[in-house]
Amino acid sequence: MNAPAYNFAYLDEQTKRMIRRAILKAIAIPGYQVPFASREMPMPYGWGTGGVQVTAAILGPKDVLKVIDQGSDDTTNAISIRKFFAKTAGVATTTATEDATVIQTRHRIPETALHENQVLVYQVPIPEPLRFLEPRETETRRMHALAEYGLMHVKLYEDIARFGHIATAYAYPVKVNARYVMDPSPTPKFDNPKMDNCPALQLFGAGREKRIYAIPPYTTVVSLDFEDHPFEPYRFNAPCALCGAENSYLDEIVTDDKGGRMFVCSDTDYCEGRQAAGHRGSLSAAPYKEKAHGGSNG
């Protein structure tokens, strides 16, 4: 269904041009936060207004859109944004990572490796990695300009001093193309290595903060660390309870009030794909039956 009251993909063409210019600049200077004239969107801040504007600006009629929220295709946020573009742009949507050309994401990078014909659009709440270390925006901009990033290590130092290891688990700072330190949006640090040398274009949109930044395809992205405390991706030490995957990022789901819990892939498409391919986890339903509940036994 195509709503005639809106321009294609909701935003008017002038706005899209403005956003595209910001995107081009962001791609030209990997990791640099480009200011843009963020618009009011028909959704609250914090729901992905930045990501939605970037998606709207790059979407073409032949694109296939996938939207994920915390790895899942079927949460409110993901469904709403998918429906929004199905309605205002009439584009095809999918939940399969491989089939999508544009993937808008909140807090995760899909487990399936991305390819060259894809664009990953991140929703970013706070684009400034130095925000909670240096409150003055004028000062942080200067620090980026002069590549003064000692302060970023102060944060990591504090982590080790307090917890014995780098306890930052998400929004883990990275250095892009050996120049700009960047906040990868609140993705778990498990996903950081996927950003490095990725064949897909990665775009970051922060609506409230009015910033766009980018990682062009095949760009080096290095997670900051200390020589004696190297970066380590974190993952619960368990296989997925539904598909048995040993290398995917897991959500912890509390199943009762007696300490019962299960670990499942946070990437629902990846998990379903594996189940369809016949992989089974400890809590999978018996194959080819409509029983929904697995027992508590493993």
State the residues that interact with other proteins by CB under 8 A: 142, 146, 148, 150-151, 153-154, 157-158, 160-162, 226-229
Compare residues 158 and 251 and give the one whose CB is closer to other proteins.
158
Compare residues 136 and 261 and give the one whose CB is closer to other proteins.
136
Pairwise CA distance, residues 130 & 249, whole Å: 27
Which contacts (CB < 8 Å, 24+ apart) does range 256-265 have? 260/296, 263/236, 263/238, 263/239, 264/240, 265/71, 265/111, 265/240
- Asked about 198 being catalytic, the answer comes back as no
- Considering the candidates 207, 240, 273, 281, report the single residue annotated as catalytic: 240
Take residue 268 and report the two structure tokens written for it: 């629902």
The strands making up 221-223's β-sheet, listed across from edge to edge, are 180-182, 174-176, 221-223
Query: How would you label 87-98 residue by residue, b for 16+ Cβ within 10 Å and e otherwise?
Result: ebbebebbbebe
Residue showing tokens 């778990």 = 188
CB of 228 to other proteins, least distance (A): 5
Residue 144 has a CB neighbour count (10 Å cut-off) of: 20
> Greatest CA separation found in the chain?
62
- Asked about 271 being catalytic, the answer comes back as yes
Chain-centre distance for alpha carbon 20: 20
- Considering the candidates 71, 271, 273, 281, report the single residue annotated as catalytic: 271
CB of 194 to other proteins, least distance (A): 24
CB of 296 to other proteins, least distance (A): 43
Compare residues 64 and 152 and give the one whose CB is closer to other proteins.
152
Q: What is the DSSP letter of 195?
A: H
- Considering the candidates 48, 50, 265, 281, report the single residue annotated as catalytic: 265
Take residue 66 and report the two structure tokens written for it: 């996938």
Residue showing tokens 């210019």 = 21
CB of 278 to other proteins, least distance (A): 46
- Considering the candidates 31, 50, 207, 273, report the single residue annotated as catalytic: 31
- Asked about 31 being catalytic, the answer comes back as yes
CB of 140 to other proteins, least distance (A): 14
CB of 163 to other proteins, least distance (A): 11
Compare residues 133 and 285 and give the one whose CB is closer to other proteins.
133
Contacts of 221 (CB under 8 A, 6+ apart): 174, 175, 176, 177, 184, 192, 195, 196, 197, 198, 215
Chain-centre distance for alpha carbon 55: 13
Compare residues 196 and 225 and give the one whose CB is closer to other proteins.
225
Compare residues 162 and 291 and give the one whose CB is closer to other proteins.
162
Active centre residues (catalytic): 31, 240, 243, 265, 271
